[in-house]
């Protein structure tokens, strides 16, 4: 039997990169997946796996979250994957307040809104929340001031949600994944702007394993945390980073 057979899942930031890989893996495991993102049309939506439905969702807007939850009816939400996020480079010296707010909203406020909606939706029957954070949430970079702080906030929020659910008797697990440098189209575009193949090799060298991670490897971790195989796991951080966070440089 497939590990997520019949479960209703919502994945944010789901059309490309890690989010797309999560949608595809969850569909393979039998989940009824709603893929949520900002797009209104395009080939990524048309090319979603058979049976996957699409929902437009601006994860920074509370009203959009309410609409997304209402669109799931009459199905109940079993799993939420908070994957949507973005970054803007900048140190403490040159990060603007506009950049700070943008990155915090996209990466941290969005997860707060999603977790709050999911806890309300899952209260009667239980479920699982998987938050996609980052290795930068564990090991900040000086040139990613806002992004590192936002992902650290996601990790703290994950523990807070897990504590609330456990202390109030809700059968809701909340865990986080911290990817390292993952080979996605967005990463490739940014590497091209920063020096091409040399930049890619430099990023691969940040991991102890000496290579980039794949989006599917992150998706496999998400399947585990969403499944009954992780039934005794909550408030945990699963690093899928090739050793990035522990490397002493």
Provide the annotated active-site residues.
Answer: 147
CB contact set of 178 (below 8 Å; sequence gap of 6+)? 133, 134, 135, 137, 138, 151, 155, 237, 238, 239, 240, 241, 245
Query: In 3D, which of 51, 55, 21 has the Cα closest to residue 35?
Result: 55
Calculate the alpha carbon distances from 12 to 22, 39, 65 in Å. 10, 12, 10
Eight-state DSSP code of residue 92: T
Query: In 3D, which of 117, 130, 126, 127 has the Cα closest to residue 65?
Result: 117
Q: Following CA atoms 115, 118, 122, 123 in sequence, which dihedral angle do they give, to the nearest 10 degrees?
A: 60
Query: Strand 79-82 to strand 127-132: parallel, antiparallel, or no bridges (unpaired)?
Result: parallel
DSSP secondary structure of 208-236: TTSS-EEHHHHHHHHHHHHSGGGTT--S-
SS3 state of residue 188: helix
The token duo for 216 is 């599917």
């Amino acid at each position: 039997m497939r590990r997520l057979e019949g479960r209703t899942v919502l994945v944010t930031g789901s059309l490309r990169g890690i989010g797309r890989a999560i949608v595809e893996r969850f569909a393979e495991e039998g989940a009824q997946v709603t893929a949520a993102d900002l797009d209104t049309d395009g080939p990524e939506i048309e090319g979603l796996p058979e049976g996957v439905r699409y929902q437009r969702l601006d994860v920074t807007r509370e009203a959009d979250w309410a609409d997304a939850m209402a669109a799931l009816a009459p199905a109940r939400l079993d799993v939420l994957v908070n994957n949507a996020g973005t970054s803007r480079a900048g140190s403490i010296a040159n990060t603007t307040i506009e950049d700070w707010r943008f990155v915090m909203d996209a990466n941290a406020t969005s997860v707060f809104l999603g977790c709050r909606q999911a806890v309300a939706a899952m209260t009667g029957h239980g479920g699982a929340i998987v938050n996609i954070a980052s290795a930068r949430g564990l090991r900040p970079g000086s040139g990613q001031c806002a992004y590192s702080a936002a992902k650290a906030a996601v990790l703290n929020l994950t523990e807070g949600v897990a504590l609330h659910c456990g202390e109030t008797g809700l059968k809701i697990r909340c865990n986080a994944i911290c990817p390292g440098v993952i080979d996605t189209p967005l990463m490739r575009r940014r590497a091209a702007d920063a020096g091409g193949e040399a930049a890619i090799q430099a990023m691969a060298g940040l991991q102890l394993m000496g290579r980039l991670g794949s989006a599917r490897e992150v998706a496999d971790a998400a399947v585990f945390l969403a499944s009954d195989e992780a039934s005794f796991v909550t408030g945990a951080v699963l690093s899928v980073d090739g050793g990035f966070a522990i490397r002493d440089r």
